[in-house]
Chain A
Amino acid sequence: MFYREAGQFKSSYKEDQAVFPILQDRIGIAILLLVAFIGIPLFAGDYFVGAIMTPFLILALAAVGLNILTGYAGQISLGTGAFMAVGAFSAYKLATFSIALGGAEATLPLILTILLAGVVAALVGVMFGIPSLRIKGFYLAVATLAAQFFIEWLLVKVGWFTNYSPSGVITAPPLVVLGYEFHTPAEKYLFTLTFVVVMAMAAKNLVRSHIGRGWMAIRDMDIAAEIIGFRPLQTKLTAFAVSSFFCGVAGALWAFVHLGTVEPEAFGINRSFSILFMVIIGGMGSILGAFIGAAFITLLPIFLNNVPPMIGWNIGVDMVAHLEFMIFGVLIIFFLIVEPHGLARLWTIGKEKLRTWPFPY
């Protein structure tokens, strides 16, 4: 009823091309950002901020990355975990190098370290993206699966990556930006949030630019895309690079901000799958969908753990774990068959319906 675009006329292409052309959307996103930046750190408990919101945001960032590759450019990847691992471990190596260079003080600013880790992940992503010119679909998925196993193996096998730590676990340096140390969960959350918001905006801008249209063109019909002038290899590799950059930054944040210590197993095949599920459930080809999917997948286990006891239904922990698998399985099949564009599409359809509600059309 209140969600109407009637009367909101656009008098320039600039207004029409805006990310949120409808006033109500702009208000909604402003409220959401206010809550995320001010409300949650002020009023939410440490557990909620540190153990739910921060990992949610980081995984959402990885999901945005995978969505660029799979949802926009149409290249299936099962190597997300590996690219996150590359990000995490190269951030670690860069940080220790810079500490070694500057004595006790890190010479490389933290933010630059994280971004450079993303760049390293991007390069690795491009390397594993090269086969995408020749192979498609399932076969490409298998090729990226090789990346997943190879990188995980390499990080465990070669001591250099962990600075010869006997347990294979790396410990991140303290989070210091311009002399200020991010210490409490709320501070770490804000650090992550800033990163994620800026990068999600960048991703949104990218997918509505000519580069994003190139990705979608390759996804929808690669031969036609080539004939109207997109270079297939270049376009696909850009998608691999950008996607891996996002995953790499997410991995670095996961290691540095969320956990503080990390081992290669944290970025195993399960991580890759869970992020792929986020993209499928949230919505392929939608930045918003990555967030919805990440929220759904991180919140569902918490919901299952907390709600049944609340209503007096005591189910065991093992039961919850089984339920989780069953619900995810059913949902993934459901979305693949009924709504390949995921929750984000349902949200769009809902909005379209709201425009005319309560009238049928």
Chain B
Amino acid sequence: MGVHEIKPGDVLLAVEDISLSFGAVRAISDVSFDIRKGEVRAIIGPNGAGKTSMLNCINGFYHPQQGTITYKGQKRSAMKPYEAAAQGIARTFQNVALFKGMSTLDNIMTGRNLKMKSNLLTSMIWWGKAEKEELEHRRFVEDIIDFLEIEAIRKTPVGRLPYGLQKRVELGRALAAEPELLLLDEPMAGMNLEEKEDMCRFILDVNDEFGTTICLIEHDMGVVMDISDRVMVLDYGGKIGDGVPEEVRTNQNVIDAYLGGGH
């Protein structure tokens, strides 16, 4: 295997020349970029630029036709999403993808499923092993609930929660898996200013306290420029800019793509 310890600053995930197309539609063409351990990496771009497709490639939901993805120094073959999850990649979705019929607590508990080992029989009996395991994970999940300040809604079915809180619960569910790489797909879409500030604080805290590497897609430029270490810009499936926020801000291609000038 040769998996060596990855220190902060080393490349955690490298994407090399990947291309993804659906029939004749090219969603991503020859994009390379990397995500370093411990950083907040942003992917921005106009609508339809291929940002979400990129995340879907990273967590195994789409399989790019060309190119390689190297995660923790290991080249990945086509893998199923649950395999990516097992390797420590968690994500949230652009449209909240919570389990509507379940409570906040249960939703976050589902994030722990890969770490729960009790089988059918011990779960049926419950007393003993299954209960002990359940309580251990409950304790961990309660820490996340505290961290995200959602104690009051822990028993509420998530379908009844307002949008901003649902997004927060979804972040909690992703955090429950103790991911190494956390993919956030527009974590602040549709939020008001206060909710955005809260979410920024959570993202930075996660990055800071747990050392989780974060890759996020966001349209709010103020947020992106403030919280991310490096930014990649996609347009029509191709990469048009990459670098620290200042570089990207002054990149002529990026300005053209966003303002529609120069074409």
Stretch at the interface among B34-42, B116-124, B220-228: B116-124
Is B86 engaged at the interface, CB distance under 8 Å to the other chain?
yes
Chain A-chain B contacts (Cβ-Cβ < 8 Å), number? 104
User: Which chain A residues border B82 with CB–CB below 8 Å?
Assistant: 226-227, 229-231
Is A134 engaged at the interface, CB distance under 8 Å to the other chain?
no
CB contact under 8 A between A238 and B61, given known A213-B102, A228-B110: no
User: Which chain A residues border B142 with CB–CB below 8 Å?
Assistant: 13
Contact with B along A26-54 (1 / 0, CB 8 A): 00000000000000000000000000000
Q: Is the CB of B113 within 8 A of A210?
A: yes
Is B177 engaged at the interface, CB distance under 8 Å to the other chain?
yes
User: Which chain A residues border B232 with CB–CB below 8 Å?
Assistant: none
In Å, the complex CA distance between A220 and B103 comes to 12
CB contact under 8 A between A210 and B102, given known A13-B135, A228-B174, A231-B82: no
In Å, the complex CA distance between A211 and B133 comes to 13
- Within 8 Å by CB of A220, from B93, B100, B139, lies B100
Interface residues of A in 210-230 (CB under 8 A from B): 210-214, 216-217, 219-221, 223-230
Q: Is the CB of A223 within 8 A of B97?
A: yes
User: Which chain B residues border A184 with CB–CB below 8 Å?
Assistant: none
Contact with B along A129-140 (1 / 0, CB 8 A): 000000000000
Q: Is the CB of A228 within 8 A of B109?
A: no
In Å, the complex CA distance between A333 and B80 comes to 40
In Å, the complex CA distance between A153 and B104 comes to 46
Stretch at the interface among A55-63, A77-85, A201-209, A293-301: A201-209
Give B residues with C-beta under 8 Å from A.
59, 61, 80-82, 84-86, 90-91, 93, 97-102, 106, 109-114, 116, 118, 120, 123-126, 130-131, 134-135, 137-139, 142, 173-174, 177
Give A residues with C-beta under 8 Å from B.
13-14, 17, 202-203, 205-206, 209-214, 216-217, 219-221, 223-231, 238, 242, 285
8 smallest CB-CB distances across A and B, nearest first, come from A229-B85, A220-B99, A224-B97, A209-B123, A205-B126, A202-B124, A210-B116, A229-B114
